[in-house]
Amino acid sequence: MTDRPASWRMPTPKQMQKMAALAGKNVSQKPGLAPDADLPAEYWQALLDDPRAEVRSAASGGTLRLSQFRQHILRVTCRRCGRTVEIQKVDAVRLYGRDAVWRDVGQRLLDNMCSQRTGRHDEDGCWPSYDMP
């Protein structure tokens, strides 16, 4: 005999009959969605109504134009190497224009001094996180 714990033992015939009887009761009567089926409209509406979705997109600030910021200092941090770059809004507008999207400006600022170069296009560069000071 081996020194296996009790949970490794084969169930007795009586235990197997009991498990088989319980297994039939736990089966869902309502069929699930097929893998290629569209999700119900209620699901999508619940996602759109979730207040956390609005907070996340507004808080990131990545989709805002430079002219829409009230802060004077804009900050972008790399999630990969941990480097942080700050730029004054006035300088960013002078260099990139009032209508430049902050996401693009932040990515350019990080890429100009990126220290994480592997030589592979899909792995090179920094991963920006747009912080609000």
Tens-place pLDDT, residues 94-127: 999 989 988 888 888 887 766 666 656 566 667 7
pTM exceeds 0.85 for this model: no
Residue 96 domain-assigned (yes or no): yes
17 Cβ contact list (under 8 Å, min separation 6): none
Residue 76 domain-assigned (yes or no): yes
Residue 23 domain-assigned (yes or no): no
Residue 127 domain-assigned (yes or no): yes
Contact (Cβ atoms closer than 8 angstroms) between residue 66 and residue 93: yes
Q: Which domain holds residue 107?
A: 61-131
Residue 3 domain-assigned (yes or no): no
Residue 18 pLDDT level (bands cut at 50, 70, 90): confident
Instruction: Look at the chain and report how many structural domains it folds into.
Output: 1
Residue 73 domain-assigned (yes or no): yes
Please choose, from the candidates 55, 68, 76, 57, the residue with its C-alpha nearest in 3D space to the C-alpha of residue 130. 76
| Measured distance CA(60)–CA(82) in Å, rounded | 17
Edge to edge, the sheet with strand 73-78 lists 84-88, 73-78, 128-131
Residue 109 domain-assigned (yes or no): yes
